[in-house]
Amino acid sequence: MDIARLTTMANQIARNLAAQGDEAAIAATAQHIRDFWDPRMKAAIIASDRTTLEPIARAAVERLKS
């Protein structure tokens, strides 16, 4: 998996949902990743260094860990 591409995708999703407010955007971003990303993509983003993720995307990925 190209982690740079996955990071870009997660950040784009988070930016598109940011107008909902932080908590709703975090939940919606996590749900989108859960629903539409294949298991390899999810595993790669969870295992990655998340410092390049924007705050909403980072929080969403943290939710996916649990």
The predicted-structure confidence for 31-52, as pLDDT tens digits, reads as follows: 999 999 999 999 999 999 999 9
Decide: residue 21, CB within 10 A, 0-12 exposed, 13-18 middle, 19+ buried: exposed
CA distances to 30, 66 from 34, in Å: 6, 12
The predicted-structure confidence for 5-23, as pLDDT tens digits, reads as follows: 999 999 999 999 999 999 9
Rounded-to-integer distance, Cα 43 and Cα 22, Å: 24
| Distance separating the N- and C-terminal Cα atoms of the chain | 22
Domains of the chain: total: 1
Q: What is the pTM of this model?
A: 0.94
**Confidence check: pLDDT of 66 > 80:** no
Domain that holds residue 51: 3-65
